Amino acid sequence: MSNLNIKTEVIQASPLATLILSCKDVPSSSWLDYVKALLAIAGADGEVSDEEMDWVFQDFLNIVGATEEQVEEVRSFDFKNVDLAELLSSLDIDVPMNYKRTLVYDAVMMARADMVYAKEEKEAVAKAAELLGVPFFIAKTIEGLVNTEKSLEMIRKSLFELEDDEAHPIQDLASLNMKPASVLERNTFGVRFTSEETQRNYGYALMIISGADGIVSEAEKDWYLNQFCEVSETPMAIAQDVLSFDYLNGNLEEVLNNLKVDVSINFQRTLLYNAIKMANADEDFPEKEKAATEKAAELLGITKDIAETIYYLVDTEAKVLKMRSTLFDYK
């Protein structure tokens, strides 16, 4: 069996990993053994697609905050010649959650990265669940959870029009001071292209809407800084500028007019979506904030039916997150 040479004792997980996985300071050996197990499960049928490998290296390892050295250690792991039963039976991962269930979850997520959950992959996941001692009904429940999350992802893509428009490509992004957003950023927050000007004005709009009740709470600021900014890679200088913005005297219509509507894929809907998420960060959505989001929807030209669909989407995502937290026994 191949071994990973772990040189760093602890991976300081990113804020996004803390949110998604409820993990913060986790021993490197735990994270990397976890990834090693994922690769072994995915490779149980003798093949791991490029999309599945991208999921590991571009999504998962990025989320947990692995260093370049640790990423290279994972790349060198010979998962094709691993005894899966031996590997899984010897796992002892020190994380504040039911890692056996999350391992099944992530194995399904990885297997579906190429949009195909083949029979062989299902069998490999089922075998892994059995070896891990995860009951069959729990494994099927986890598959159902992934299906639900994938369905929500497709709804986001449709609402935010995130599918690539090959017939009308945007030319010369550099001259517009724009850059393509990451896959995670696109699918999580519905942002396809970003620039510093866009990030600043987008943040101002979020502050004005969230502060419509007279104050932007610490929970709302934390959501903006440690979730939105982390995923969108908003520079800290811009984030601090946004957090110090005089939102009580800000003009929402003026801020919206400053956004680069010519290069954002339906930024109007993504802005409303993120404004609702930020306003809900403190689990309190008072009438003034609701009225502000309704005003924003009107200014953005979003019809009532679409606005209400976005409200329901955010609400459903929150419920699914609670379901995941319960199922995975986050500490």
Residue 98 φ/ψ, nearest 5 degrees: -80, 85
CATH assignment of 10-134, among 3.30.2270.10, 1.20.140.10, 3.40.50.720, 1.10.3680.10? 1.10.3680.10
| CA dist., res. 296 & res. 280, Å (int) | 16
Tens digit of pLDDT at every position of the chain (331 positions): 333 333 333 333 333 344 444 444 556 667 778 888 888 888 776 778 888 888 888 777 776 777 888 889 888 888 888 888 888 887 777 767 788 898 899 889 888 887 778 888 888 899 999 999 999 999 999 999 999 988 988 888 888 876 554 444 444 444 445 555 555 555 555 555 567 788 898 899 999 988 887 889 999 999 999 888 877 778 899 999 999 999 999 998 888 888 755 444 567 888 888 888 888 887 766 677 778 788 888 888 899 999 999 989 988 988 998 888 888 886 5
Coil vs helix vs strand at 245 = coil
Instruction: Assign domain 180-327 to a CATH class.
Output: mainly alpha
Backbone angles phi, psi at 219, to 5 degrees: -65, -40
Distance of alpha carbon 57 from the chain centroid: 14
- Give just the sign of the alpha carbon dihedral 237, 243, 244, 248: positive
pTM of the predicted structure, to 2 decimals = 0.76
Q: What is the spatial distance between Cα 139 and Cα 129, in angstroms, rounded to a whole number?
A: 7
User: Do the bridges between strand 25-27 and strand 193-194 make them parallel or antiparallel, or are there none, so unpaired?
Assistant: unpaired
Locate tokens 């002892």: which residue? 92
Cβ partners under 8 Å of residue 268, min gap 6: 261, 300, 301, 302
Q: Where in the chain is the domain with CATH 1.10.3680.10?
A: 10-134, 180-327
Q: How many CA atoms lie within 13 A of 304 on its CB side?
A: 1
